[in-house]
Amino acid sequence: MIESGRKGGIGVLLDEIDGLSNGERGGLNELHAYLKSKEVKDGRPLILISNSIDTRTLQQIAKLCLTFKVEPAASECLKQWLGKEPPPTFTGDLRSLQRQMDGLEIPEQVQEIPEGVMPVAWWTLWGDWDPLLEFDIENNEGNLASLISLENIPERVEASKGDTHEAWKLYMSLFNAYKISDQGDFWAFFYQCWTILPLSLKLKLKIISLRLAVEAPLPPTAKQLTTEEFRYTPVLTKQSAMFNAWKLLCEIAETHGVPVRLAPMYAFTEIQSGALRPDKVRRYEAISLEHFHKTIVEAPVAPEPAS
């Protein structure tokens, strides 16, 4: 239709192809190969939509395509659509503009999501997250931001509830939400069920922030931490042996219904009893069971605060 102006033929439209780079298994390479194939030359157009082309594979694909940037709507088009000049707060987001025109959003409340791991972590704990606002953050950055916010959440809860049993109950409830989210991540990666990841990320960031705003509102005199005051413990990477060991512990806990902290002892017992197949024994032994048994299972557990 683009070439002749007439309808007909078969075309393929793929939206959000930049999302393929997050956990995909060869999808972008397959698109790259298709664009070089005979099907495209014979009139099977492939129309791709992406938020950016900043990865190497997307740049290679862009070189094979007629690539152009979709700019925000022109002022004259907006004026014709609205019947008046667009508000000075208009940032290019037509959905936000529509909500403003319908009276569902006050322009002064329009928020821009901060960029960077530390700002997102700060905003999750101390900011005021608009329930209508959806965030678009890369999965690894979102996970890091959630880890930092989790590490610094005690100060946020204490700023609202003080050093009380009520604060402890809220903290444990929020911690349980992180636990459920982490379990979702495990399922996503272990079973390659990638649709879980956006839900997990929303639970770790947006839902936690909204819960804090409702369940732990800040008094006017509360002192807010800055990002410079945040604690930050560098985390293990996916490539490390410790990560693989931790993943195996999660698999044992998930499969056999035992707590993660008891997974090494369970695996050690199964090996000693001869109940495991040889391949399972090798995998379980690979996590250095005696080391984990001493450092995790036999490690002293801090007592919970008295009620």
In sequence order, what are the residues at sequence separation of 6 or more whose Cβ sits closer than 8 angstroms to the Cβ of residue 41? none
pLDDT band at 104 (very low <50, low <70, confident <90, very high): low
> Out of 50-54, 160-164, 258-262, 284-288, which region has the weakest mean confidence (pLDDT)?
284-288
pLDDT at res. 26: 63
Going along the chain, which residue ranges are E strands? 12-14, 46-48
Please tell me which residue, 232 or 300, carries the higher pLDDT value: 232
pLDDT at res. 302: 47
Percent of the chain with pLDDT over 70: 71
- Cβ–Cβ under 8 Å, residues 28 and 58: yes
Q: At 46, phi and psi to the nearest 5? A: -120, 115
Bridge partners, 13 (sequence order): 47
Give the whole-angstrom CA distance, residue 264 versus residue 291.
Answer: 9
Q: What is the DSSP letter of 71?
A: P
pLDDT at res. 68: 85
- Cβ–Cβ under 8 Å, residues 149 and 208: yes
- Tens of pLDDT, residue by residue over 2-56, are 667 776 667 788 888 877 655 556 677 777 777 777 766 666 678 888 877 777 7
Question: What interhelical angle do 117-126 and 139-151 show, nearest 10?
Answer: 50
pLDDT at res. 301: 47
Percent of the chain with pLDDT over 90: 13
- Tens of pLDDT, residue by residue over 158-204, are 999 999 999 999 999 999 998 888 888 888 877 778 888 888 988 98
Measured in whole angstroms, the distance separating CA 136 from the mean position of its chain's CA atoms is 9
Segments in 191-287 forming alpha helices (H):
196-202, 208-215, 241-256, 263-273, 278-285
Give the whole-angstrom CA distance, residue 254 versus residue 260.
Answer: 8
Is 80 exceeded by the pLDDT of residue 77?
Answer: yes
Residue 307, judged by CB atoms within 10 A of its CB (0-12, 13-18, 19+), counts as: exposed
Bridge partners, 14 (sequence order): 48
- Looking at every residue in the chain, the average pLDDT score rounds to 76
pLDDT at res. 1: 62
The stretch 144-148 carries a mean pLDDT of: 87
pLDDT at res. 108: 47
**How long a stretch of residues is the chain?**
307
Is 80 exceeded by the pLDDT of residue 151?
Answer: yes
First to last CA, the chain: 71
> Out of 53-57, 190-194, 239-243, 263-267, which region has the weakest mean confidence (pLDDT)?
239-243
Give the whole-angstrom CA distance, residue 106 versus residue 290.
Answer: 59
Is 50 exceeded by the pLDDT of residue 110?
Answer: no
pLDDT at res. 247: 75
The stretch 78-85 carries a mean pLDDT of: 81
* Number of neighbours of residue 142 by Cβ within 10 angstroms: 23
Give the whole-angstrom CA distance, residue 248 versus residue 230.
Answer: 31
* Number of neighbours of residue 280 by Cβ within 10 angstroms: 14
In sequence order, what are the residues at sequence separation of 6 or more whose Cβ sits closer than 8 angstroms to the Cβ of residue 55? 18, 21
pLDDT at res. 56: 74
Give, in order, the Cα–Cα distances in Å from 149 to each of 174, 213, 231: 11, 14, 9
Bridge partners, 48 (sequence order): 14
